[in-house]
Amino acid sequence: MQDQPHVAIVGATGAVGREMLVCLEERNFPLSKLTLLASARSAGQSLPFRGEDLIIKELTADSFAGIDIALFSTGGGISQEFGPIAAATGCLVIDNSSAFRMDPDVPLIVPEINGEEAKNTPRNIIANPNCSTIITLMGLAPLHQAFGLKGIIASTYQAVSGSGAQGITELENQINAIATGAPIEKSIYPHQIAHNVIPHVDVFLEDGYTKEEQKMLHEGRKILNLPDLKVTCTCVRVPVMRSHSISITAIFDRDPSVAEARAAFAGKPGIKLIDDPEQGIYPVPLGTTGRDDCEIGRIRKDQVLPNALVLWVVGDQVKKGAALNAVQIAELLLG
């Protein structure tokens, strides 16, 4: 691949697509040309990049001629249709949807954790993990390296922006309705989200878990190369605009002390230890919004399970949980 590739963003007008633009500009990504692709409805609009306005083009089967890297920020159906078409032209696809994550011929990459696997791309497609999985494993991978991870019990606290712009609008409208005494309207969530939490993210499966909860299990096993990893997860939607938080109990092969755990994070890229609870210092969603790093705090020994630690991890799910992770994968491929 050339040192300054021709890059495309597919789904450029969505929240993740726009964040990809921000990441490419913030990181001074070396590209020769940037093409923005979206639906016919968005074609002709423009978005700013490096001091100029780029015109959005309609996504078609002929869109990928001459493109070296395509960052897909679309739903799974669009990725399944156009991802293989792009890959067949020789374009490398980095896909943010769930379409290819569990394909054995598609690497599932968090650059700080298993970046070396990005070079093996039989289908010319690389998958971005689920946002909650990325944030959780950013906090767990250094501990796994040090102590050997065996199991995870996790509860996620997921921002409404994880549902797209409609989730943000619904929360804002309900807050305004409460303030003015107007009727509460809901369409995105099955219950009122303002002043509430909803233990329901994605669709329910026959075993009582949701698809979102099972992503932590299956994707975690693939990324960490731990086929026997045990995971129990509960995903909760909370009335927060942006950044997901995860409460984690992690069980290890050996018994780590809190001091050893803190030491395991030292010097690791993409994470920041924020852990002085007596001074009110610990990660919160507002503290990570718009930032690259995931933050870790509230590290303590579990009082029930042996060889276990409890920790709290927070990260911007639009940035590191989606757009930034994809751009970092592209950077890996350029060396």
Residue position matching structure tokens 């994550």? 101
Q: Where are the beta strands (DSSP E) in 64-189?
A: 69-72, 92-95, 125-127, 149-158
309 near 302, Cβ under 8 Å? yes
Indicate whether 181 and 307 sit together in one domain: yes
What b/e readout covers 301-334, taking b as 16+ CB neighbours within 10 angstroms?
Answer: eeeeeebbbbbbbbbbbbbbbbbbbbbbbbbbbe
Look up 144 and say whether it is catalytic: no
Give the CATH number for residue 119.
3.40.50.720
The type of residue at 297 is G
Give per-residue pLDDT as tens, 125-149. Answer: 999 999 999 999 999 999 999 999 9
Kindly state whether residues 121 and 243 are assigned to the same domain. no
Q: Give the single-character DSSP code of 129.
A: P
Which residues contact residue 53 at a Cβ distance below 8 angstroms, ignoring those fewer than 6 apart? 46, 47
Indicate whether 13 belongs to any domain. Answer: yes
CA distance 85 to 79: 10
- Please state the pTM of the whole predicted model: 0.96
Q: Same domain, yes or no, for 295 and 146?
A: yes
Helix or strand (DSSP H, E) at 86: helix 76-88
Q: Which residue's structure tokens are 């990570």?
A: 288
* Domain span including residue 284: 133-317
Tokens of 129: 């993990």
Q: Which of 93, 56, 55 is nearest to 71 (CA)?
A: 93
Are the C-beta atoms of residues 313 and 298 closer than 8 Å to each other? no
Which CATH number belongs to the domain containing residue 298 in this structure?
A: 3.30.360.10
Same-domain pairing of 232 and 260: yes
Task: Say which amino acid occupies 210.
Answer: T
Question: Is residue 312 domain-shared with residue 175, that is, in the same domain?
Answer: yes
Q: Examine residue 1 and state whether it is found in any structural domain, yes or no.
A: no
The single residue of 144, 233, 235, 244 carrying the catalytic annotation is 244
User: Which candidate in 131, 233, 235, 294 is catalytic?
Assistant: 131
334: amino acid identity, one letter: L
* Claim to verify: residue 161 and residue 301 sit in the same structural domain: yes
Phi, psi of 48 (to 5 degrees): -80, 140
For the chain, the domain total comes to 2
91 counts as catalytic = no
Cross-strand bridge partners of residue 29: none
Tell me, yes or no, whether 89 and 119 share the same domain. yes
Contact 72, 94 (CB under 8 A): yes
- pLDDT per position in the chain (335 positions), as tens? 678 999 999 999 999 999 999 999 999 999 999 999 999 999 999 999 999 999 999 999 999 999 999 999 998 899 999 999 999 999 999 999 999 999 999 999 999 999 999 999 999 999 999 999 999 999 999 999 999 999 999 999 999 999 998 999 999 999 999 999 999 999 999 999 999 999 999 999 999 999 999 999 999 999 999 999 999 999 999 999 999 999 999 999 999 999 999 999 999 999 999 999 999 999 999 999 999 999 999 999 999 999 999 999 999 999 999 999 999 999 999 98
14, 22, 49, 86 from 42: Cα distances, Å: 10, 19, 17, 20
Residue (of 134, 111, 77) closest to 314 by Cα position = 134
Do residues 328 and 290 both lie within one domain? Answer: no
Same domain, 280 and 224: yes
Q: List the beta bridge partners of residue 198.
A: 237
Instruction: Provide the 3-class DSSP secondary structure of residue 295.
Output: strand
Q: Which of 252, 212, 249 is nearest to 234 (CA)?
A: 212
